[in-house]
Amino acid sequence: MKTIITSIFLFITILCKGQTSDVMYVPDQKTLVVTYHNNFNGVGFYVGGYLVATFPAPYIYTTPMSRINRVGLSLTNHQISIMGGIFGESYYDSVSIKPDIWLKIHPIRILTKTNKGIDLSLGVNYMKGVRYGVGLSIPFRGIY
């Protein structure tokens, strides 16, 4: 399932001619956060969803809100990113919405002082406590 979700988001990035796509895993929440940055201006968006290893039983109805848990905007210079949006937790009869703030760095790009190349994504999230995320940043600038 993890491979399918990652492949879908990377396909969307290639289709939309994005410059950079980041895939980050947040172990405290078992969530994948995917960031997409568009051409040249450093503004993008991010979407997060629960990582589900098995499909639900056929008699359980689930909505997209129970899978997608965060959405927001991202500003970056391709070395440091600041992300802000909302985090939603769905309950049986209601949805709880909280602010979602991220600071994400790309250590190899910072050390080499470049904006190119595959790099790690290290993120720190503040939302009722501090969480971390680790992942991969993949630039697609050379493809187009």
| CATH code of 53's domain | 2.40.128
CA proximity to 135, closest of 112, 98, 113, 102:
102
- Tens-digit pLDDT profile for residues 119-132: 888 999 888 788 89
Cα 89 to Cα 87: distance, rounded to the nearest angstrom: 7
Domain count of the fold of the chain = 1
Q: pLDDT tens for residues 35-89?
A: 887 656 778 889 888 876 666 555 555 555 457 788 899 888 878 889 999 988 7
**Would you say the pTM of this structure is higher than 0.75?**
no
Query: In this structure, is the dihedral angle defined by the CA atoms of residues 93, 97, 98 and 101, taken in order, positive or negative?
Result: positive
- Containing domain of residue 53, as a range? 2-143
Confidence of residue 144 (pLDDT cuts 50, 70, 90): very low
